[in-house]
Amino acid sequence: MKSPISLLPHEDLILYRLAEKYGLEYRSRPGYRVFDAKNGVYIALSYVMDLVNGKCTF
């Protein structure tokens, strides 16, 4: 089994935009998160890029 790829938030945004530009399928989800109790929201500290058909999109 192949492992997903961990990304920092700015890396996820860049890869998302590149995938959009070149018409590639891109899947990611929040990885490590912390809860901001004051504002009642989760903050993603990292993202996970899921593999498409067992391969990296790029």
- Do β-strands 41-44 and 5-7 pair in parallel, antiparallel, or remain unpaired? unpaired
Cβ neighbours of residue 44 closer than 8 Å, sequence gap 6 or more: 9, 30, 31, 32, 33
Q: What is the pTM of this model?
A: 0.79
pLDDT in tens, the chain (58 residues): 678 899 999 999 999 999 999 999 999 999 999 999 999 999 999 999 998 888 888 8
Domain ranges of the chain: 5-50
Give the pLDDT confidence score for residue 1 in this predicted structure: 62
Q: What is the dihedral of CA 3, 10, 29, 41, to 10 degrees?
A: 140
